[in-house]
Copies of this chain bind each other. A is one copy, B any other.
Amino acid sequence: MTISPTLKPQAAASLALWHEMVAQQDLGRLPSILHGDAVFRSPMAFKPYASAAAVNLILTTVVQVFQGFTYHRTLVSDDGLNVVLEFNASVGDKQLKGIDMIRFDEEGKIVDFEVMIRPMSGLQALGAEMGARLAAYLPAYKA
């Protein structure tokens, strides 16, 4: 996985670890690159989930839900602290595309992780599956 040379070194190191964890489907080291006040912005709900624990729970769950997950284009902001990762995957029999839009701080910690999904049918399938898995832990997480 090529990391953009325009990304700041500490953000690039965190992104490299992220790609390694996703490839291994093991996010065990994610807390080491999450800021304590990290925020997750879900494709389903408008209101963000605030706290590293919530971000960790949601991302750990979603990597189990996606099948055939593959990253494509990587895009970086001029300040070298924001990245967009394009992906495709499927949930059940629904194909979907999406992006992870990640903001890092100067130390390379993830402070904001936002996910968008298309099309509607893929978002609905993902929302139903995530809601079923997370309802007990994050009552507000619904499709």
Docked-complex contact A143 and B116, CB < 8 angstroms = no
Docked-complex contact B82 and A45, CB < 8 angstroms = no
Tallying the copies of this chain within the complex gives: 2
Query: Number of A residues whose C-beta is below 8 Å from B?
Result: 39
CA distance A4 to B80 in the complex (A): 12
Q: Other than A46-B118, A114-B118, give 5 A-B pairs with Cβ distance below 8 A.
A: A2-B78, A73-B77, A75-B84, A97-B114, A123-B123
17 example contacts (A-B, Cβ-Cβ < 8 A) are as follows: A4-B78, A5-B78, A43-B118, A46-B96, A73-B82, A73-B101, A74-B78, A75-B77, A75-B82, A75-B83, A76-B77, A84-B101, A97-B114, A99-B99, A99-B101, A114-B118, A117-B118
